[in-house]
Homo-oligomer: A and B are copies of this chain.
Amino acid sequence: MTINEELTHELLAFFNGFSSWENSIVRSSELTVSEAHAVEVLGEHEKMNMKGLAQKLGVTTGTTTVTVDRLEKKNLAYRESTKEDRRVNYIVLSDIGKNVFEEHHAYHLHLTEQMTSVLDDDEISQFLNTLKKINAETF
């Protein structure tokens, strides 16, 4: 087994673990999975248009329209039209939406703490560096 094969295996396990964890968190909240993902992205970005949000979510804009409709219905976010380009809607979290985001974000922080609790300081900063590189170069 080459190191890349081993790494592939661990990456998959990591991804699946993360995914299961995320699903169980979302299921225990009032959000659906796609709503939660959207809130997660919007919470980090202040203002996004539909296309940008769709790209970040990895889905089509059609799908994103449906998701944002639902967020609006739940008063978690709203569309804000702009003068510069009247085709564009900016999607913004409402105050309620921001609270929901913070709550969800706290869970993530807690998960991160759980992960780093088994690592020493050097490992943690090395891990962070590696992730930064990979994110910048690969995705």
Q: Which residues of A contact B (CB under 8 A)?
A: 3-24, 40-41, 44, 56-59, 105, 108-109, 111-116, 118-119, 123-135, 137-139
Report if A21-B116 is in contact (Cβ < 8 Å); known contacts: A128-B3, A128-B10.
no
Contact, CB under 8 Å: B109 / A4: yes
A12 to B7, CA, bound (A): 19
Interface of A is mostly: helix
Q: Residues of B contacting A59 with CB < 8 Å?
A: 23
A112 to B11, CA, bound (A): 8
Q: Residues of B contacting A112 with CB < 8 Å?
A: 4-5, 7-8, 11
A108 to B138, CA, bound (A): 13
A1 to B16, CA, bound (A): 28
With both beta carbons as reference points, the residue of chain B lying nearest to A59 in the complex is identified as B23
With both beta carbons as reference points, the residue of chain B lying nearest to A133 in the complex is identified as B118
Q: Residues of B contacting A134 with CB < 8 Å?
A: 14, 115, 118-119
Contact, CB under 8 Å: A8 / B108: yes
Report if A9-B139 is in contact (Cβ < 8 Å); known contacts: A24-B58, A58-B16, A58-B23.
no
With both beta carbons as reference points, the residue of chain B lying nearest to A108 in the complex is identified as B8
